[in-house]
């Protein structure tokens, strides 16, 4: 192979080709390759220079696709609870950030649980209390006692709603702040200046939007030594879903 000389490239019109070599210096195998028909050689060359399939695929973008999260749709409506009594009508809205109390109260109001119960404890310049199932029976002495197996609701004091005039709050057994609420008994603040000394001790979960004067009337009815009205102040409840703009 020493007499073959240096291999060099020669440019011809149309592209680059291998330099010419003396035919006698080629081995039989090389001759068979170089002098075979172009129809057999070209596919081999094309295959050698073909781009691998995986290299033809565009590189995946490293940029992360931002997916817009759909925000929960805020309803334009809210439930309004209407309490009808012999003294007039009281309308309430409940707070969303006290969900346990709101859900429980609405379920009972919708089911008719409160229909026929009374405001069994009324104190002028303080509050009116009602919602005990015992107040439906003929025994006035057990009103406000509740049933032995009545469940309770965990206190929801976090939102910090205050005992404003007309506030709706949950009654409960005695004990420190955080004591669970009664599952049915509630009270409405009648003191026009509020009863703020109760803040942080009892769950406030709604507000009167109509009928503050009715609360005043109920607080002033004749009552006995137990603050129970001498004439029953019975109630019925209904729940309406209204547009917030109309509330």
Under 8 Å between Cβ of 203 and 101: yes
Look at the block and give the residue holding tokens 């406030």.
204
Three-state SS for 182-219 is EEEEEEEECCCCCCHHHCCCCCEEEEEEECHHHHHHHH
Under 8 Å between Cβ of 200 and 39: no
Please identify every stretch of the chain with a pLDDT value under 50, giving residue numbers as ranges: 1-23, 25-26, 30-35, 38-49, 55
Structure letter (DSSP) for residue 69: P
Please tell me the distance from the alpha carbon of residue 204 to that of residue 162, in angstroms, as a whole number.
7
Residue 238: CB partners within 8 Å, gap ≥ 6?
A: 81, 82, 84, 109
Please tell me the distance from the alpha carbon of residue 237 to that of residue 25, in angstroms, as a whole number.
112
Identify which of 165, 70, 97 has the alpha carbon closest to the alpha carbon of residue 125. Answer: 165
β-pairing verdict for 204-210 and 167-172: antiparallel
pLDDT at 131: 97
Please tell me the distance from the alpha carbon of residue 218 to that of residue 146, in angstroms, as a whole number.
22
Structure letter (DSSP) for residue 59: P
pLDDT at 16: 34
Identify which of 118, 242, 243 has the alpha carbon closest to the alpha carbon of residue 185. Answer: 118
pTM of the model: 0.70
Residue 79 bridge partners (DSSP):
241
pLDDT at 76: 75
Cα atoms found within 13 Å of the Cα of residue 123, Cβ hemisphere only: 10
């Amino acid at each position: 192979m020493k007499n073959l000389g240096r291999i060099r490239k020669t440019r011809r019109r149309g592209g680059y080709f291998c330099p010419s070599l003396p035919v006698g210096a080629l081995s039989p195998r090389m001759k068979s390759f170089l002098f075979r028909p172009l129809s057999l050689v070209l596919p081999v060359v094309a295959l050698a220079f073909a781009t691998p399939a995986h290299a033809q695929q565009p590189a995946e973008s490293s940029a992360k696709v931002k997916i817009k999260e759909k925000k929960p749709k805020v309803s334009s409506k809210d439930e309004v609870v209407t309490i009808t009594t012999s003294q007039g009508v009281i309308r309430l809205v409940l707070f969303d950030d006290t969900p346990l109390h709101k859900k429980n109260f609405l379920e009972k109001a919708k089911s008719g649980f409160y229909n026929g119960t009374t405001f069994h404890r009324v104190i002028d310049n303080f509050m009116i209390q009602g919602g005990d199932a015992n107040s439906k029976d003929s025994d006035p002495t057990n009103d406000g006692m509740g049933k032995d197996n009545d469940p309770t609701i965990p206190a929801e004091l976090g939102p910090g709603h205050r005992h404003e005039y007309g506030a709706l709050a949950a009654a409960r057994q005695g004990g420190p702040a955080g004591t669970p609420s009664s599952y049915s008994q509630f009270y409405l603040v009648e003191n026009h200046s509020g009863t703020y000394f109760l803040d942080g001790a009892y769950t406030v979960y709604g507000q009167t939007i109509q009928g503050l004067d009715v609360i005043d009337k109920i607080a002033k009815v004749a009552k006995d030594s137990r603050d129970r009205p001498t004439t029953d102040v019975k109630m019925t409840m209904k729940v309406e879903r209204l547009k917030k703009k109309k509330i």
